[in-house]
Amino acid sequence: MSPSRGRRLGAFVFLSPGLTYLVVLLLVPLVLVLSYTLFQRGRFGGVVYEVTGENFSRLIDPLYLSVVGTSLKIAGLTTLLALLLGYPTAYLIAQLPRKWKTVALVAVVLPFWTNFIIRVYAWIILLNGPGLLNSGLKALGLGPYELLYNQGAIILGLLYSYLPLMVLPLYAAIERLDPQLREASANLGASAFSTFRKVTLPLTVPGVLTGCLFVFVPSFGNFVIPEMLGGGKSVMVGNLIRTEFLQARDWPFGSALTLALVAVLVVLLIAQSWVARRA
Amino acid sequence: MFRTRFTRRLPAAIAVAGLALAAAACGGESTNAGAAPAATADQLNPNADLSKQSVNVTVWDGYTPKELPQKVKDKLKFPLKIGIHDTNETAMTKLTAGGDTGIDVAFVSGQYAQALNEQGLLEPIHPELIPNLSNLYPEATQLSYDKGNKYSVPYTWGTTGICYRSDLVKTPPTSWKDLLQPPSWADKKVTMMTTERWLALPALKALGYSVNTDKDAEIAKAKELLVAAKPHLLGYDDTTFGDKLKSGEAVMVEAWDGWCPTTDEKQNIKFAVPKEGSDLWVDTMVIMKSSKNKEAAHALINYILDPEIHSWAAVNINYKVPNKAAMDKVDIAKGSLLDIKPAELLNGESLIDLGQASVKYTRLATEIKAQS
């Protein structure tokens, strides 16, 4: 057996479980869903196989564009805040002694050990009218404030849920930095700030982009948090897709919305890899 | 109803959503709206040996007594297998998949029974095999989707109204306007339902329109009311409104009767049907045309209509049952959920499936919720 054939066989053996998984559970359902966009809605869900372009023309309706706009705004703000909070955190963790690094990283992923819904519920108990925060403020003679069931609460919930996904790739990028580069910059007379701006930051841009993508993508399509913390008063793309499939039983239009969501994400991924390659 | 019965919490609903999508991807056979001729009745043998048959049921979780299969086995001598669906939609996916679905008896809401019948999927009810039909209230045989119980037998019924904290409201609500234009003491302490048809219901009823209207002008009027109401709402909620009442975050919520937690130990949660009227929902039992165990299926329905069995739903899950003999056995407290009389219920309008026009309601709900 030639070495190259052996390598190919090895690659095949190692890749096939993952590839099978992706093809069967991701690609096939995705193609199915996307093919629905061409057809008409069945009365009780499902699809009537009569070709129509209507699902696409509905997409550019101002109503749905405004929903996409709201989602972009909420997910964008969440990502920005996550970056502003996550970068210093990751930077700090990377400077810690080895032992404490592990502790800090475990602390970052610790929330994932508890069910997502339970953690979101905890925020409701914290923030609602008779909740902990308001009763604490009341004891101080303040409030009550309307902390829940608005877009601020949605952003808070998303930020809380996805911040670890920002910290981890940033940590990986900062940790990998050769400390000698920063030392060299300092030796050559650069201030701490310009070392950060001209050395550290540019070299960690790929990590920044990965972190932003990891936060933006699940925030953009989220439908649980807008419903639970937003009180259902804001609609995001995820809510719309869920409604179309489960309540309105309009699978074709739900699929068209899914297609729009996937398109936005693909554009983001391409942009990310393009910038990362040039960085 | 669209509701997820007894899986009231969002997590369950989400799990269900995932499963429904998965199921949809696999077996979503299209179902045309066209009305197929109603099925003709099979000749059934009243003296069939039931012990040679077996019955598969699909029903909402926790909607029938747990010990029902055992009781059926003891009493009727055939095995009963209970399958679960979470919403009418999932039931429809199961039942319209084509061919023999393996299901003999299904529990679905009235408008879905009507649709199944239009597609010729239901066996007409043979009243001679269900003597206990005489236990039903006379009103329960006059339901608009199936007058005379030709292809469905009602199991539970109820309505939508306002569920409120009697200790926190200054005056008990009597009108949908109390919800849509809450007085200052209830400002931001009111929730409405998020599912489109029930989201529209208070406004449509307050304006005196039908809950099944497909007139654009009427829907537009309702939209105005609903948009004006939005700033005064705590939120849109059809899963956790009971919790919001209990915690005092909300003082009035739009609620399905069975979901209004009137049995809470503090006894300060009450339910009112607004004077403008409301809807009437009925969950029914139907027998599938494809069933090979039709005699046993009839025997099962007859057994469920036995007051002893049927009263279970009223006693244990606080749903009104359309069975006079069963309700007579139940101790009904004045003003309790079960106290609503059949004649009052029948004033409610049944929600019917609107076909293509239902798109208008989805749009309405999205427009209102996207409004900032």
Where is mean pLDDT largest: A11-15, A179-183, B74-78? B74-78
Same domain, B17 and B106: yes
Question: What average pLDDT does chain A have?
Answer: 90
Mean pLDDT of B54-65: 93
Residue A93 lies in a domain: yes
pLDDT tens for each residue of A243-265: 888 778 788 999 999 998 999 88
> Do residue A234 and residue B369 have CB atoms under 8 angstroms apart?
yes
* Least confident interval from A59-63, A91-95, B33-37, B216-220: B33-37
> Do residue B20 and residue A67 have CB atoms under 8 angstroms apart?
no
Residue B317 lies in a domain: yes
Same domain, B80 and B120: yes
Same domain, B59 and B176: no
Same domain, B235 and B318: no
Burial label for B131, CB within 10 Å (0-12, 13-18, 19+), is exposed
pLDDT tens for each residue of A214-224: 999 999 999 99
> Do residue A149 and residue B369 have CB atoms under 8 angstroms apart?
no
Task: Kindly indicate the confidence band of residue B23, based on its pLDDT and cuts at 50, 70 and 90.
Answer: very low
Residue B40 has pLDDT above 80, yes or no: no
Residue B285 lies in a domain: yes
As for how many domains chain B has, the answer is: 2
The residue that leads in pLDDT, B8 or A66, is A66
SS3 A182: helix
CATH number, domain of B261, equals: 3.40.190.10
Give the sign of the dihedral formed by CA B108, CA B114, CA B115, CA B119. Answer: positive
What is the structure's pLDDT at B166? 93
Mean pLDDT of B244-258: 92
Written as six digits, the tokens of B191 are 């929730």
Same domain, B263 and B242: yes
Residue A51 lies in a domain: no
Same domain, B81 and B195: no
d(CA B235, CA B191): 5
Question: What average pLDDT does chain B have?
Answer: 85
What is the structure's pLDDT at B196? 86
A240 chain-B contacts, CB cut-off 8 A: 366
What is the structure's pLDDT at B22? 44
Residue A262 lies in a domain: yes
Written as six digits, the tokens of B370 are 């996207």
As a whole-number percent, the residues of chain A with pLDDT over 70 amount to 98
Tell me if B287 sits within 8 A of B298, measured CB to CB. Answer: yes
The residue that leads in pLDDT, B96 or B269, is B269
What is the structure's pLDDT at B144? 85
Residue A30 lies in a domain: no
Residue B36 has pLDDT above 50, yes or no: no
Q: Rounded to a whole number, what is the distance in Å from the CA of B135 to chain A's nearest CA?
A: 33
> Do residue B362 and residue A29 have CB atoms under 8 angstroms apart?
no
> Do residue B370 and residue A235 have CB atoms under 8 angstroms apart?
yes
d(CA A128, CA A137): 12
Where is mean pLDDT largest: A124-138, B11-25, B48-62? B48-62
Nearest alpha carbon to residue A204 among B226, B146, A212, A6: A212
Residue A216 lies in a domain: yes
Residue B228 lies in a domain: yes
Residue of B9, B21, B367 to mutate, interface with A, max A Cβ within 10 Å: B21
Same domain, B73 and B164: no
Residue B25 has pLDDT above 80, yes or no: no
- Give the ipTM of the model, two decimals please: 0.81
What is the structure's pLDDT at B10? 39
Tell me if A170 sits within 8 A of A87, measured CB to CB. Answer: yes
Q: Rounded to a whole number, what is the distance in Å from the CA of B261 to chain A's nearest CA?
A: 19
As a whole-number percent, the residues of chain B with pLDDT over 70 amount to 88
The residue that leads in pLDDT, B83 or B317, is B83
Same domain, B150 and B206: no
Mean pLDDT of A229-239: 92
What is the structure's pLDDT at A45? 66
Q: Which of A63, A233, A245 sits opposite B235 (nearest CB)?
A: A233
> Do residue B20 and residue A245 have CB atoms under 8 angstroms apart?
yes
> Do residue B370 and residue A244 have CB atoms under 8 angstroms apart?
no
Task: Spell B289-309 as b/e; 16+ CB within 10 A means b.
Answer: bbbebbbbbbbbbbbbbbbeb
Beta strands in chain B (DSSP E): 55-60, 80-85, 105-109, 153-158, 160-165, 190-192, 235-236, 252-256, 269-272, 279-287, 349-350
Pairing between β-strand B153-158 and β-strand B80-85 as defined by DSSP bridges: unpaired
What is the structure's pLDDT at B128? 94
What is the structure's pLDDT at B171? 93
The torsion defined by the Cα of B25, B31, B33 and B36, in degrees rounded to 10, comes to: -170
**B29 to chain A: closest CA residue:** A46
Residues of chain A whose beta carbon is less than 8 angstroms from a beta carbon of chain B are 29, 32-33, 41-49, 63-64, 66-67, 70, 115, 117, 128-130, 146, 149, 224, 227-228, 230-235, 239-240, 242-251
What is the structure's pLDDT at A143? 73
Residue A131 lies in a domain: yes
Residue A16 has pLDDT above 60, yes or no: yes
What is the structure's pLDDT at B1? 45
d(CA A146, CA B188): 9
Provide the CA B275 distance to its chain's centre, in angstroms.
21
pLDDT tens for each residue of B267-326: 789 999 999 999 999 999 999 999 999 999 999 999 999 999 999 999 888 899 999 999
Q: Rounded to a whole number, what is the distance in Å from the CA of B119 to chain A's nearest CA?
A: 12
What is the structure's pLDDT at A2? 59
Mean pLDDT of B42-69: 90
Q: Rounded to a whole number, what is the distance in Å from the CA of B352 to chain A's nearest CA?
A: 12
Same domain, B71 and B212: no
Amino acid B48 reads A
**A248 to chain B: closest CA residue:** B362
Same domain, B182 and B208: yes
What is the structure's pLDDT at A3? 62
Residue B52 lies in a domain: yes
Same domain, B238 and B289: no
pLDDT tens for each residue of A41-54: 877 667 888 898 88
As a whole-number percent, the residues of chain A with pLDDT over 90 amount to 55
Task: Kindly indicate the confidence band of residue B41, based on its pLDDT and cuts at 50, 70 and 90.
Answer: low
Give the number of other CB atoms < 10 A from CB of residue A244: 23
Mean pLDDT of B341-350: 86
Residue B268 lies in a domain: yes
Q: A187 lies in which domain range?
A: 58-278
As for how many domains chain A has, the answer is: 1
The residue that leads in pLDDT, B120 or B41, is B120
What is the structure's pLDDT at B12? 42
Same domain, B114 and B167: no
Q: B166 lies in which domain range?
A: 160-277+353-370
CATH number, domain of A215, equals: 1.10.3720.10
Mean pLDDT of B193-221: 94
Written as six digits, the tokens of B255 are 């609620």
